[in-house]
Amino acid sequence: MKTLVVGGAGYIGSVVTRLLIQDGHEVVVLDNCSTGHADSIPAGVRFVQADISAVGEVLAGADFDAVLHFAAKSLVGESVAHPSLYWHTNVIGSRALLDAITEHGVPRLVFSSTAAVYGEPDTFPITEDSPTKPTSTYGATKLAVDMMITNECAATELAAVSLRYFNVAGAAWGAGERHTTETHLIPIALDAVAGRRDKLNIYGDDWPTPDGTPIRDYVHVADLARAHVLALTAAHPGEHLICNLGNGNGFSVKQVIAEVERVTGLEMPVVSGPRRAGDPTRLVASADRARERLGWEPQHDLRQMVADAWEFSNSVAAQEPR
């Protein structure tokens, strides 16, 4: 297929772009590089550096088969402190993208959604039918876009898939996490254990969990990328398919720290502090629908995620000026 990857210079978008190319798809990337990196786009891929508002210009007359939409603000704490930024970027930007898709007759959309739409769930594992009660502006904006996509599919015969990620980790095919402002546990822990940070902050050790720290479901970015490629042909015209992506296993912050120390053979400096606004206690996925509808199965465990992220973070550090 001829695919437009919006947000393809970011962490997940750049990994998905690599897999699309490996699988023989033609790829164009649109990204303003506000958080992504132009050098993470593979050589030979057409790259348009522009805001999401330019998506219509890229689609015009080009006969794209699909759009994969990764462009968004995604920092939970920032979204709580600056909600207008998130509503404008995530929702208004996505509205412009949907309008362009409709105008230019693109038949397929794959959307990067999030487990944050579920908020503080009452039952586990979380299914796609679990109540959506986001506790952060970030989660609320992603839910709003999911709702817009549902309406658009009903009105226009668009075939769309929303993939609700749980915690993504690891690296694949030479691409990994390079966030300027890093909030994800595994890369922060790896920086701390390597001495690139002075310590790791635990946001609350008094949560109602066995060891007092929050529990999350982790999925390898390579597994996540494969789900996007499978999603290109999963939905029928007029259908909005929503699938959770996770391993179905929960690990606490302290368990992740222990795994990082095992993989690296190094001890980590850790400091406990107050809870972070918008964080739920526990998020663990049921990915049964992804298995049934996408034919998807996660292949990588937590140790592999940590090991791949460790290798990538060291390669990036080695290239940085001293």
**How far apart (Å, rounded) are the C-alpha atoms in residues 281 and 279?**
7
Place of tokens 């390669």: 315
Q: Which of 138, 165, 203, 218 is catalytic?
A: 138
What's the order of all strands across the beta sheet hosting 26-31?
Answer: 46-49, 26-31, 2-6, 66-69, 108-114, 159-165, 240-245
218 catalytic per annotation: no
* Non-local CB neighbours of 255 within 8 Å, separated by 6+ positions: 211
The sign one gets for the Cα dihedral 257, 281, 75, 301 is positive
Report residue 191 as tokens. 């920086």
**Residue carrying structure tokens 């769309």:** 160
CB contact burial 297-310 (16+ within 10 A = b; e otherwise): ebebebebbbbbbb
Catalytic residue numbers, as ranges:
138
